[in-house]
Chains A and B, each alone.
Chain A
Amino acid sequence: AQRVTQPEKLLSVFKGAPVELKCNYSYSGSPELFWYVQYSRQRLQLLLRHISRESIKGFTADLNKGETSFHLKKPFAQEEDSAMYYCALGGPNTGNQFYFGTGTSLTVIP
C-alpha cells in the first residue's frame, strides 16, 4: 500500500536555525515525491518535487530510497517560512491520485 508519514504535527524553530521536516513513504515502484506548502489563508502550492532537484526558497529535499525518506531541509529558517507543509506521493503505481501526509505545521519564532 502507498503511504506517506509525517511524524511531526507541529514544529517550532527560531529564526536563523536549521529546520528539517520529516517525510517517510512506502511505495512499490519508483515514487514521485513532492512537498506542498500552504501559507496562512492561501491555497496549497507546490514547493518542490524530487525529480527537479531544485532549491526553492532555500528548501531542499533529497529522495533517499534506502531509508524511504524525503525530508525537507532549510539551513536558516525565516519567519515567512511559517506554514503547513505536506509531503505527497505520486507515481505510476498510485493510480491517478496523490497521497498526502498528515502535514507538519512549521512555526518560525522571531
Chain B
Amino acid sequence: EPEVTQTPSHQVTQMGQEVILRCVPISNHLYFYWYRQILGQKVEFLVSFYNNEISEKSEIFDDQFSVERPDGSNFTLKIRSTKLEDSAMYFCASSQTNTGELFFGEGSRLTVL
C-alpha cells in the first residue's frame, strides 16, 4: 500500500540554523499538507499546497517557513532560522481531494537547542 514517507525521522539543530524537512507524498495525490505537533499539544495545521502553490496557511506559517515541490515528487518544508519553539513533530500529509482522507507520514521530530 502506498505511503507518505518523511525524512529525517529526527533532526537536532542549533537555534538560528536552517532546517529542511522532506516528504514524498503518495504519487497520485494532488493536495499536500504540513502539520506540526508540539509535545503534549494538538496537531496544528501549517500549510496546504496545491497546483504548485500555497493554497492555505496558518498564522504559525510565518516568513521563516517556506514550502516547495522542487521535482514533482518531493515536498519540502524549510525553516529558515529555527527557534526553540519550533521544536515539534512535523507531519506531512497528502490527499487526492481537498476534503478527502489525509494520509500522514510518520513524522519528523525536530529538536532545536
Contacts and interface: CB of A to CB of B under 8 A. Distances in A.
Interface string B30-67: 01010100000111110010100001101000000000
Most A C-beta atoms less than 10 A away, residue of B93, B99, B107: B99
Interface residues of B, number: 25
Contacts of B43: 44, 86, 100, 103
B85 interface: no
26 contacts: A32-B99, A34-B101, A34-B102, A36-B104, A43-B4, A43-B106, A43-B107, A44-B104, A45-B104, A46-B102, A46-B103, A49-B101, A90-B99, A94-B99, A95-B55, A96-B50, A96-B56, A96-B98, A98-B33, A98-B45, A99-B45, A100-B45, A101-B42, A102-B41, A102-B42, A103-B43
B105 interface: yes
Contact of A97 (B33, B104, B106, B107): B33
A42 interface: yes
Interface residues of A, number: 24
Interface in B74-97: 91, 93
Contacts of A58: none
A59 B26 CA distance: 27
Given A90-B99, A101-B42, A96 B104 contact: no
Interface string A79-110: 00000001010111011111111110000000
B105 A97 contact: no
Contacts of B93: 44
Contacts of A90: 98-99
